[in-house]
A = this chain, B = another copy of it.
Amino acid sequence: MSHSQSAPQAGAQPLTRTLARELKDHVDQKAMVHGWLHKKRLMGGMAFILIRDRSGVSQVLIEDKAEQEKIASVQIGSIVRIVGQVVSEPRAPGGVEIHEPAVEVTNPIHEVSPIELDKDISHRPDNLETLFENKVVAVRNLKERSIFKIRSELNRYIRQFLHEQDFTEIQTPKLLAGATEGGAEVFKVSYFEREAVLAQSPQFYKQIMAGSFERVFEIGPTFRAEPSMTSRHMSEITMLDIEMAFIEKHEDVLQFTEKLLYNILTRVYAEHADTLKLLKAPELVIKPNFPRYAVDQIHEMYTKATGESTIGEKDMRPDEERWIVEYAKEHDGCELVFVTEFPVEAMKFYHMVNPDKPNKVLWADLLFRGLEIATCPMREHRYEKLMEQMKNAGLDISHPGYKYYLQAFKYGMPPHGGFGFGIDRLVQKVLGLANVKEATLFPRDMNRLTP
């Protein structure tokens, strides 16, 4: 993919900007690069500088003393325009170097950056707060920056895949009249003369909209007031939410989840192999059909393998999640695993009970690299049955958060299902980052509201 900005050289016309990645197409020509002074090095009277732009870095050799002087007096981060001759140089980044440059510092900087931009930034747990505090500058680091390029690309692949599958993008409100589920974990907003809350999930809205467009998705922020300081929690999360109607069975949800994840993961590994290598992302072990294990089956396998009994537990332990993914990676050749057959004791009111096994729910969890990344259930779409499940769960169906949701069912909902996952968590897992906050531009938690 080349997005050329540069026009062929034409007589007295001023040169247009050439990006670092395009320089190789200008060997033996004059070119202009304009970017951030990324690095400077003096070697035996010769100065080598690197100029950074959005596509990478260009190496420039400055031999002339007067030109060297211009760079000597300014700091890394200064904006510099270089006009010079492009020559082939296998030892330089991209295989080219600019010689005999005319140097112009278009925006001189005199302060020393608090973050080194030409070296790796430590992601050790004890350095993360320093990284986050200086993120405004740290995102200029090539490696740090590439995390968010991958994130942008994953978003794009998801949207493109969903469009090809006839999905409609929706934008649902984040300001709501009142909390429904987990009221303790919602942020309260002073809303004119009354109180509003911030949406924890577009769950109800996506179901409502599946009642119109059948296939809908949203990528947007959600807010969780969980007072947890862990590597997995943030108070603001970017979620992908998907809902699809007129499915025939729960299996349709699982197959669609497989198709989406297989598509975007194999694509990012194919199209960004170099970046993933730079970021030391783990190799991808994947098959089009993800292995499936029932909760009880995993409890048995885990108990047998480790000697630690989990038999009879209604949910999965974090250790078991890690164990089963490792197991599947080795035995099934796939590090994405569905955990199926959750017991009704663990269900949410909007899940559908398995009609063939009334003590099981039509719900599967998707695990990826040791972590649950998505919950993939079929929903209860029958109005009477849904109200019954809500009453059994002790919910007040007259609450505004439920009242409008129930209208969708009262006036006709088809069978549907869907899933959602945090984009932050997906990026974290793809890149093998230890903390979800490393995958987020400006993370938010109990203690951090800046930058």
Q: Which residues of A pack against B, CB within 8 Å?
A: 3, 17, 34-37, 53-54, 77-79, 106-107, 109, 111, 113, 134, 136-137, 139-140, 145, 148-149, 151-152, 155-156, 159, 163-166, 168-177, 187-192, 194, 196, 198, 205, 208-209, 211-215, 220-221, 223, 225, 227, 235-236, 238, 246, 381-383, 400, 403-405, 407-408, 410-415, 423, 441-442, 444, 446, 449-451
Contacts and interface: CB of A to CB of B under 8 A. Distances in A.
A107, A235, A238, A446: most-surrounded residue (chain B CB, <10 A):
A107
Contacts of A208: 136, 139, 451
Contact of A220 (B175, B221, B441): B221
A152 B169 contact: yes
B214 A171 contact: no
A274 B165 CA distance: 22
Nearest to A227: B192
B236 A413 contact: no
A189 B187 contact: yes
B236 A137 contact: no
A96 to B, nearest CB: 20
B205 A442 contact: yes
A155 to B, nearest CB: 6
Contact of A54 (B3, B213, B407): B213
A326 to B, nearest CB: 31
9 closest A-B pairs by CB: A77-B412, A404-B451, A3-B166, A54-B214, A177-B449, A139-B212, A152-B169, A136-B407, A77-B411
5 contacts: A53-B246, A54-B215, A171-B238, A176-B449, A189-B198
Contacts of A413: 79, 107
A214 B188 CA distance: 36
A449 B175 contact: yes
B152 A196 contact: no
Contacts of A407: 134, 136-137, 451
Contact of A408 (B136, B213, B412): B136
A332 B385 CA distance: 61
Contact of A441 (B134, B140, B148, B170): B170
A411 B413 CA distance: 55
Contacts of A152: 168-170
Nearest to A109: B412
Contacts of A381: 107
Given A111-B411, A140-B212, A172-B442, 6 more contacts: A37-B412, A156-B169, A171-B423, A173-B442, A174-B174, A220-B221
B149 A168 contact: yes
A170 to B, nearest CB: 6
Contacts of A155: 169, 171
B145 A213 contact: yes
A223 to B, nearest CB: 7
A111 B383 CA distance: 11
Nearest to A193: B446
A212 B145 contact: yes
- Which of A175, A227, A236 is packed against the most chain B CB atoms within 10 Å? A175
- The residue among A173, A191, A412 with the most chain B CB atoms within 10 A of its own CB is A412
Contacts of A111: 410-411
A166 B151 CA distance: 15
A37 B188 CA distance: 40
Nearest to A170: B441
Contacts of A136: 208, 211, 404-405, 407-408
A448 to B, nearest CB: 9
Contacts of A211: 136, 139-140
B169 A163 contact: no
A54 B412 contact: no
A408 B212 contact: no
B169 A382 contact: no
A441 B17 CA distance: 43
B107 A449 contact: no
